[in-house]
Amino acid sequence: MTWSWLAVVPITLAPLAAINLLSRREPAGRLVALAIPILFGLWLLWIWEVVVVGFDVPRILLPAPSQIGHQLVAQAGMLWADFQQTFLKSVLAGFAMGCGLGFLVALLTDRVAFLQRGLLPLGNMAGAVPVVGIAPIMVMWFGFGWESKAAVIVVMTFFPMLINTIAGLAAADRMQRDLMYSYGAGYWQTFFKLRLPAALTFVFNALKINSTLALIGAIVAEMFGSPISGMGFRISTEVYKMNVDIVWATIAVAAVAGSMFYGLLALLERALTFWHPSYRAEARNR
Protein backbone atom coordinates (compact mmCIF):
# COMPACT_ATOMS: atom_id res chain seq x y z
CA MET A 1 0.00 0.00 0.00
CA THR A 2 2.62 2.49 1.02
CA TRP A 3 4.86 1.42 -1.84
CA SER A 4 2.33 2.21 -4.55
CA TRP A 5 2.72 5.85 -3.51
CA LEU A 6 6.13 5.88 -5.08
CA ALA A 7 4.49 5.88 -8.52
CA VAL A 8 3.48 9.48 -7.82
CA VAL A 9 7.10 10.61 -7.69
CA PRO A 10 8.04 10.10 -11.36
CA ILE A 11 4.69 11.52 -12.54
CA THR A 12 5.41 14.59 -10.44
CA LEU A 13 8.99 15.03 -11.50
CA ALA A 14 8.61 14.30 -15.22
CA PRO A 15 6.70 17.52 -16.11
CA LEU A 16 9.21 19.58 -14.13
CA ALA A 17 12.05 18.08 -16.13
CA ALA A 18 10.13 18.73 -19.34
CA ILE A 19 9.48 22.36 -18.34
CA ASN A 20 13.15 22.79 -17.53
CA LEU A 21 14.22 21.32 -20.86
CA LEU A 22 11.75 23.42 -22.82
CA SER A 23 12.83 26.60 -21.02
CA ARG A 24 16.41 26.09 -22.18
CA ARG A 25 15.43 25.98 -25.83
CA GLU A 26 16.76 28.94 -27.71
CA PRO A 27 15.16 30.59 -29.57
CA ALA A 28 11.83 29.77 -28.02
CA GLY A 29 9.11 29.46 -30.66
CA ARG A 30 5.57 30.59 -30.09
CA LEU A 31 4.35 27.07 -29.44
CA VAL A 32 7.03 26.41 -26.82
CA ALA A 33 6.37 29.76 -25.15
CA LEU A 34 2.72 28.73 -24.86
CA ALA A 35 3.38 25.12 -23.86
CA ILE A 36 5.57 25.94 -20.85
CA PRO A 37 3.02 27.85 -18.76
CA ILE A 38 0.26 25.39 -19.70
CA LEU A 39 2.39 22.47 -18.60
CA PHE A 40 3.28 24.34 -15.42
CA GLY A 41 -0.39 25.06 -14.70
CA LEU A 42 -1.35 21.43 -15.18
CA TRP A 43 1.55 20.44 -12.94
CA LEU A 44 0.28 22.79 -10.20
CA LEU A 45 -3.20 21.22 -10.44
CA TRP A 46 -1.61 17.78 -10.21
CA ILE A 47 0.42 18.72 -7.11
CA TRP A 48 -2.71 20.23 -5.56
CA GLU A 49 -4.64 17.01 -6.16
CA VAL A 50 -1.81 14.83 -4.83
CA VAL A 51 -1.37 16.91 -1.69
CA VAL A 52 -5.09 17.08 -0.92
CA VAL A 53 -5.70 13.37 -1.51
CA GLY A 54 -2.37 12.16 -0.15
CA PHE A 55 -2.37 14.06 3.11
CA ASP A 56 -6.11 13.73 3.53
CA VAL A 57 -6.63 17.50 3.77
CA PRO A 58 -10.17 18.20 5.05
CA ARG A 59 -12.51 19.15 2.22
CA ILE A 60 -13.49 22.32 4.07
CA LEU A 61 -9.93 23.56 4.15
CA LEU A 62 -9.06 22.90 0.52
CA PRO A 63 -11.07 20.76 -1.91
CA ALA A 64 -9.22 18.81 -4.59
CA PRO A 65 -9.35 20.11 -8.19
CA SER A 66 -11.33 17.00 -9.17
CA GLN A 67 -14.03 17.87 -6.62
CA ILE A 68 -14.17 21.44 -7.90
CA GLY A 69 -14.41 20.15 -11.46
CA HIS A 70 -17.25 17.87 -10.42
CA GLN A 71 -19.16 20.84 -8.94
CA LEU A 72 -18.51 22.88 -12.07
CA VAL A 73 -20.37 20.25 -14.08
CA ALA A 74 -23.01 19.33 -11.51
CA GLN A 75 -23.97 22.94 -10.64
CA ALA A 76 -23.56 24.32 -14.16
CA GLY A 77 -27.10 25.75 -14.24
CA MET A 78 -26.74 27.64 -10.98
CA LEU A 79 -23.27 28.91 -11.86
CA TRP A 80 -24.58 30.14 -15.22
CA ALA A 81 -27.38 32.05 -13.49
CA ASP A 82 -24.84 33.65 -11.15
CA PHE A 83 -22.66 34.56 -14.09
CA GLN A 84 -25.61 36.18 -15.86
CA GLN A 85 -26.60 38.19 -12.79
CA THR A 86 -23.11 39.37 -11.90
CA PHE A 87 -21.32 39.63 -15.20
CA LEU A 88 -23.84 40.17 -17.95
CA LYS A 89 -25.97 42.59 -15.92
CA SER A 90 -23.91 44.41 -13.26
CA VAL A 91 -20.39 44.30 -14.65
CA LEU A 92 -21.09 45.12 -18.28
CA ALA A 93 -23.53 47.93 -17.47
CA GLY A 94 -21.33 49.48 -14.80
CA PHE A 95 -18.16 49.08 -16.85
CA ALA A 96 -19.68 50.73 -19.92
CA MET A 97 -21.15 53.64 -17.93
CA GLY A 98 -18.09 54.24 -15.72
CA CYS A 99 -15.56 54.07 -18.56
CA GLY A 100 -17.79 56.10 -20.88
CA LEU A 101 -18.30 58.80 -18.27
CA GLY A 102 -14.59 58.93 -17.42
CA PHE A 103 -13.73 59.27 -21.09
CA LEU A 104 -16.29 62.01 -21.73
CA VAL A 105 -15.23 64.03 -18.68
CA ALA A 106 -11.60 63.69 -19.80
CA LEU A 107 -12.58 65.12 -23.21
CA LEU A 108 -14.36 67.95 -21.44
CA THR A 109 -11.33 68.73 -19.27
CA ASP A 110 -9.22 68.78 -22.40
CA ARG A 111 -11.16 71.84 -23.55
CA VAL A 112 -11.44 73.40 -20.10
CA ALA A 113 -7.95 73.42 -18.58
CA PHE A 114 -9.25 74.92 -15.34
CA LEU A 115 -11.42 71.85 -14.73
CA GLN A 116 -8.52 69.54 -15.46
CA ARG A 117 -6.27 71.13 -12.86
CA GLY A 118 -9.07 70.77 -10.33
CA LEU A 119 -9.96 67.16 -11.16
CA LEU A 120 -6.48 65.66 -11.61
CA PRO A 121 -5.40 65.92 -7.94
CA LEU A 122 -8.77 64.45 -6.93
CA GLY A 123 -8.30 61.60 -9.40
CA ASN A 124 -4.81 60.85 -8.12
CA MET A 125 -6.11 60.86 -4.56
CA ALA A 126 -8.90 58.45 -5.50
CA GLY A 127 -6.23 55.84 -6.27
CA ALA A 128 -5.36 55.63 -2.57
CA VAL A 129 -8.97 55.44 -1.38
CA PRO A 130 -10.71 52.08 -0.94
CA VAL A 131 -13.65 52.99 -3.16
CA VAL A 132 -15.28 49.55 -2.71
CA GLY A 133 -16.40 50.88 0.67
CA ILE A 134 -19.25 52.79 -0.97
CA ALA A 135 -20.92 49.44 -1.68
CA PRO A 136 -23.24 49.50 1.39
CA ILE A 137 -24.37 53.03 0.53
CA MET A 138 -25.14 52.13 -3.06
CA VAL A 139 -27.06 49.03 -1.97
CA MET A 140 -29.08 51.31 0.32
CA TRP A 141 -29.81 53.78 -2.46
CA PHE A 142 -30.40 51.55 -5.44
CA GLY A 143 -31.71 48.38 -3.83
CA PHE A 144 -30.55 44.77 -4.01
CA GLY A 145 -30.72 44.44 -7.80
CA TRP A 146 -27.95 44.85 -10.36
CA GLU A 147 -28.35 48.64 -10.39
CA SER A 148 -26.56 49.10 -7.07
CA LYS A 149 -23.63 46.95 -8.25
CA ALA A 150 -23.41 48.89 -11.49
CA ALA A 151 -23.35 52.13 -9.46
CA VAL A 152 -20.41 50.89 -7.37
CA ILE A 153 -18.57 49.94 -10.57
CA VAL A 154 -19.26 53.33 -12.14
CA VAL A 155 -17.61 55.09 -9.20
CA MET A 156 -14.69 52.62 -9.12
CA THR A 157 -13.90 52.77 -12.84
CA PHE A 158 -14.45 56.50 -13.37
CA PHE A 159 -11.16 57.85 -12.02
CA PRO A 160 -8.72 55.36 -13.63
CA MET A 161 -10.36 56.13 -16.98
CA LEU A 162 -10.26 59.89 -16.39
CA ILE A 163 -6.59 59.97 -15.41
CA ASN A 164 -5.43 57.66 -18.19
CA THR A 165 -7.38 59.47 -20.89
CA ILE A 166 -6.03 62.85 -19.76
CA ALA A 167 -2.49 61.42 -19.82
CA GLY A 168 -3.18 59.85 -23.21
CA LEU A 169 -4.45 63.08 -24.75
CA ALA A 170 -1.17 64.70 -23.73
CA ALA A 171 0.83 61.85 -25.30
CA ALA A 172 1.08 63.19 -28.85
CA ASP A 173 4.32 65.14 -28.84
CA ARG A 174 5.03 68.74 -29.78
CA MET A 175 6.52 67.95 -33.19
CA GLN A 176 3.50 65.93 -34.28
CA ARG A 177 1.13 68.65 -33.15
CA ASP A 178 3.16 71.29 -34.92
CA LEU A 179 2.94 69.22 -38.08
CA MET A 180 -0.86 69.10 -37.79
CA TYR A 181 -0.85 72.86 -37.17
CA SER A 182 1.25 73.45 -40.29
CA TYR A 183 -1.31 71.43 -42.25
CA GLY A 184 -3.88 73.95 -41.05
CA ALA A 185 -5.80 71.26 -39.12
CA GLY A 186 -8.46 72.45 -36.67
CA TYR A 187 -8.99 71.20 -33.10
CA TRP A 188 -11.26 68.34 -34.10
CA GLN A 189 -9.13 67.25 -37.05
CA THR A 190 -6.04 67.17 -34.86
CA PHE A 191 -8.11 65.38 -32.25
CA PHE A 192 -9.41 62.57 -34.45
CA LYS A 193 -6.36 62.07 -36.64
CA LEU A 194 -3.57 62.50 -34.12
CA ARG A 195 -4.44 62.84 -30.46
CA LEU A 196 -7.19 60.24 -30.12
CA PRO A 197 -5.18 57.46 -31.81
CA ALA A 198 -2.16 58.43 -29.69
CA ALA A 199 -4.33 58.26 -26.56
CA LEU A 200 -5.70 54.83 -27.39
CA THR A 201 -2.91 52.87 -25.68
CA PHE A 202 -3.62 54.77 -22.46
CA VAL A 203 -7.38 54.30 -22.84
CA PHE A 204 -6.90 50.57 -23.27
CA ASN A 205 -4.64 50.49 -20.25
CA ALA A 206 -7.50 51.97 -18.22
CA LEU A 207 -10.01 49.58 -19.78
CA LYS A 208 -7.86 46.63 -18.76
CA ILE A 209 -7.39 47.87 -15.20
CA ASN A 210 -11.10 48.59 -14.97
CA SER A 211 -12.11 45.13 -16.22
CA THR A 212 -10.64 43.62 -13.05
CA LEU A 213 -11.94 46.42 -10.82
CA ALA A 214 -15.45 46.01 -12.21
CA LEU A 215 -15.62 42.32 -11.37
CA ILE A 216 -14.25 42.95 -7.87
CA GLY A 217 -16.74 45.77 -7.31
CA ALA A 218 -19.70 43.63 -8.35
CA ILE A 219 -18.66 40.67 -6.21
CA VAL A 220 -17.98 42.74 -3.10
CA ALA A 221 -21.17 44.77 -3.51
CA GLU A 222 -23.18 41.55 -3.70
CA MET A 223 -21.90 40.62 -0.26
CA PHE A 224 -23.83 43.60 1.14
CA GLY A 225 -27.10 42.37 -0.26
CA SER A 226 -28.34 40.90 -3.51
CA PRO A 227 -31.15 38.87 -5.01
CA ILE A 228 -30.76 35.10 -4.73
CA SER A 229 -28.17 34.82 -7.47
CA GLY A 230 -24.80 36.33 -8.26
CA MET A 231 -21.21 35.26 -7.73
CA GLY A 232 -20.64 37.37 -4.61
CA PHE A 233 -23.91 36.12 -3.12
CA ARG A 234 -22.97 32.50 -3.94
CA ILE A 235 -19.53 32.83 -2.36
CA SER A 236 -20.79 34.41 0.83
CA THR A 237 -23.71 31.99 1.36
CA GLU A 238 -22.04 28.72 0.36
CA VAL A 239 -19.06 29.45 2.56
CA TYR A 240 -21.38 29.57 5.57
CA LYS A 241 -22.91 26.25 4.51
CA MET A 242 -19.37 24.87 4.31
CA ASN A 243 -19.79 23.96 0.63
CA VAL A 244 -16.27 25.10 -0.08
CA ASP A 245 -16.09 23.21 -3.37
CA ILE A 246 -18.99 25.27 -4.78
CA VAL A 247 -17.19 28.43 -3.64
CA TRP A 248 -14.08 27.33 -5.51
CA ALA A 249 -16.16 26.48 -8.57
CA THR A 250 -17.62 30.01 -8.47
CA ILE A 251 -14.13 31.45 -8.14
CA ALA A 252 -13.05 29.38 -11.15
CA VAL A 253 -15.94 30.84 -13.15
CA ALA A 254 -15.00 34.36 -12.01
CA ALA A 255 -11.38 33.72 -12.96
CA VAL A 256 -12.27 32.49 -16.42
CA ALA A 257 -14.73 35.37 -16.94
CA GLY A 258 -12.14 37.91 -15.77
CA SER A 259 -9.40 36.52 -17.98
CA MET A 260 -11.68 36.32 -21.03
CA PHE A 261 -12.83 39.90 -20.51
CA TYR A 262 -9.21 41.02 -20.23
CA GLY A 263 -8.19 38.90 -23.20
CA LEU A 264 -10.92 40.35 -25.42
CA LEU A 265 -9.83 43.88 -24.50
CA ALA A 266 -6.22 42.95 -25.28
CA LEU A 267 -7.24 41.57 -28.69
CA LEU A 268 -9.23 44.71 -29.43
CA GLU A 269 -6.27 46.82 -28.40
CA ARG A 270 -3.99 44.87 -30.74
CA ALA A 271 -6.44 45.39 -33.60
CA LEU A 272 -6.79 49.14 -32.98
CA THR A 273 -3.24 50.09 -31.98
CA PHE A 274 -1.30 47.77 -34.28
CA TRP A 275 1.00 50.69 -35.14
CA HIS A 276 2.30 51.02 -31.57
CA PRO A 277 6.05 50.32 -31.07
CA SER A 278 5.40 47.57 -28.51
CA TYR A 279 3.57 45.47 -31.13
CA ARG A 280 5.96 46.34 -33.93
CA ALA A 281 8.92 45.17 -31.85
CA GLU A 282 7.14 41.90 -31.22
CA ALA A 283 6.54 41.40 -34.92
CA ARG A 284 10.22 42.07 -35.64
CA ASN A 285 11.37 39.48 -33.11
CA ARG A 286 9.16 36.77 -34.46
Partner 1 sequence: MTTKSLVAGRALPLATVLLFVGVLWYLGAIFLNAPRVREQLDRGPQAWTTADLIAGTWSMERPVLPTPDQVLAEFWKTTAGTKIASKRNLLYHAWITASATGLGFILGGLLGIGLAVGIVHVRTLDRSLMPWIIASQTIPILAIGPMIIIVLGNIGVTGVIPKAIISGYLSFFPVTIGMVKGLRSPDPLQLDLMRTYNASASQVFRKLRWPSSMPFLFASLKVSVAISLIGAIVGELPSGATAGLGARLLSGSYYGQTIQIWSALLMAALLGMAMVYGVGGIERIALRRMGTRP
Which residues would be at the binding site for partner 1 (CB under 8 A)? 19-20, 22-24, 28, 33, 36-37, 39-41, 60-62, 114-122, 125, 127-130, 132-137, 139-141, 211-212, 215-216, 219-220, 223-225, 231-232, 235-236, 239-240, 244, 247, 250-251, 254-255, 258-259, 261-263
Q: How far is the CB of 259 from partner 1 (least distance, A)?
A: 5
Q: Are 210 and 265 in contact (CB under 8 A)?
A: no
How many other β-carbons are positioned within 10 Å of the β-carbon of residue 14? 11
Quick one: 228 or 255, whose CB is closer to partner 1? 255
Quick one: 8 or 22, whose CB is closer to partner 1? 22
Residue 275 CA to residue 46 CA, distance in Å, equals 41
What value, to the nearest 5°, has the Cα angle with vertex 254 and ends 103 and 256?
Answer: 90
Q: How far is the CB of 236 from partner 1 (least distance, A)?
A: 6
Quick one: 107 or 120, whose CB is closer to partner 1? 120
Residue 168 CA to residue 241 CA, distance in Å, equals 48
Q: How far is the CB of 187 from partner 1 (least distance, A)?
A: 21
How many other β-carbons are positioned within 10 Å of the β-carbon of residue 150? 25
Quick one: 168 or 232, whose CB is closer to partner 1? 232
Q: How far is the CB of 212 from partner 1 (least distance, A)?
A: 6
Q: Are 260 and 175 in contact (CB under 8 A)?
A: no
Q: How far is the CB of 286 from partner 1 (least distance, A)?
A: 17
Quick one: 154 or 219, whose CB is closer to partner 1? 219
